[in-house]
Structure 1
Amino acid sequence: MTGVSGVGKSTAVERLAGSGYRAVDLDSSEWSEWVDSADGEGPSPLQPGKDWVWREDRVRELLAEDGHGVLFVSGCASNLGKFRDRFDGVVLLSVAADVMAERLAHRTTNSYGKHPEELARSLEFKETVEPLLRATADLELDGAAPLDQVAAAIVQFAGVIR
């Protein structure tokens, strides 16, 4: 699952994990890190010149594991494209800009997007990055739909039958 900040990736992957599926949120410090940005830009104006990217060695190992059943991962990073061929399918979660802004303002899992400059950058990414994600996604879901419905659609897309 991918999408810009505030679309429900972490919530959806948490629900999948809680339902017994192998599911990992790559947008955490265990799987991602701040690095010097190649273009001097990044997701947070509060971290100038830094980009939040997946730790490639760890993600590569995770995706190579021969675990039981489907592995669901969620996240969005500038180096996502390096792993696209490792995913059987990509689901884009998307929400309206006002829903995204509301979620970022009230999120409790991390502080990204609460600062006005980060919120502005996130809304900019909705216009600039989301279309790029959409172009490579296999399925797009409305992240504002009820969580059980979103999780069920993701499982159905993956072809998992319980």
Structure 2
Amino acid sequence: MGRRNFLIEGSSGSGKTSVCEELVRRGYHAIHGDRELAYQGDPNTGEEVVTSGLEVHHHQIWHLGKVSALIQDRREEMTFFCGGSRNLKKFVDLFDAAFVLDVDVETLTRRLDARADDEWGGRGRHTERDLILRLHRTKEDMPRQSILIDATAPLTEVVDEILKRSRAAGAADR
């Protein structure tokens, strides 16, 4: 929905939802990809699947048609797509830039500890936590061409940095 479209990615617990909410609070157009675009599907074919346990993570994908339609709609100056998707490789090139929220393992663990029991990676969900920590360590789910953002900083500073770099990416294209 923007003339400039940006992806905000990061491991579970890196702050994607908080960044999205702060962008909206500031009046920017931001999409909660995990809420508005995601479904359980095969990352290669897009076919819906029924999942449970850790399969939920491996099959969380975004609707390609919805992503494409939102990017083609140029009513907004900038749109931020926030969240994680296992079919990222199928649409990451549509974005003007991808930001990856980066946190250290101590910050990540503290944020996961603050989650409720029924949240992904929350207290007592050890198998999910192990996956989150492995993915954090290996970065295997992250886009290769991306701009790292230190997400251990206060939320307002994280969003300020994303906005500064978004504007710079737009100015470089002019």
- Would the aligned equivalents of 2:12 and 2:132 in 1 still touch at CA under 8 Å? yes
State which of 6, 9, 18 in structure 2 corresponds to 1:11. 18
Q: Identify the range of structure 1 (117-126 vs 49-58) with the bigger mean alpha-carbon deviation.
A: 49-58
Work out whether 1:35 is the aligned partner of 2:71.
no
Higher strand residue share: 2
State which of 164, 167, 174 in structure 2 corresponds to 1:156. 164
For residue 135 of structure 1, what is the aligned residue in structure 2? Answer: 144
For 2:141 and 2:61, the matched residues in 1 are separated by: 17
5+ long unaligned stretches in structure 1: 39-43
For 1:127 and 1:11, the matched residues in 2 are separated by: 22
Q: Identify the range of structure 1 (98-107 vs 86-95) with the bigger mean alpha-carbon deviation.
A: 98-107
Q: Identify the range of structure 1 (73-82 vs 15-24) with the bigger mean alpha-carbon deviation.
A: 73-82
State which of 80, 88, 97 in structure 2 corresponds to 1:72. 80
Could you tell me which amino acid in structure 2 is paired with residue 58 of structure 1? K
CA 1:101–1:63: 2 relative to 1, 3 Å: same
- Would the aligned equivalents of 2:71 and 2:94 in 1 still touch at CA under 8 Å? yes
5+ long unaligned stretches in structure 2: 1-7, 45-50
Could you tell me which amino acid in structure 2 is paired with residue 100 of structure 1? L
State which of 58, 66, 82 in structure 1 corresponds to 2:66. 58
- Would the aligned equivalents of 1:134 and 1:140 in 2 still touch at CA under 8 Å? no
Over the aligned positions, Cα root-mean-square deviation in angstroms equals: 2.4
- Find the residue that maps to 2:97 and give its secondary structure: coil
For 2:143 and 2:61, the matched residues in 1 are separated by: 19
Cα offset, 1:36, TM superposition: 4.5
TM-score normalised per structure 2? 0.78
Cα offset, 1:105, TM superposition: 2.5
Cα offset, 1:37, TM superposition: 6.3
Moved over 6 A (4+): none
For 2:82 and 2:17, the matched residues in 1 are separated by: 7
TM-score normalised per structure 1? 0.83
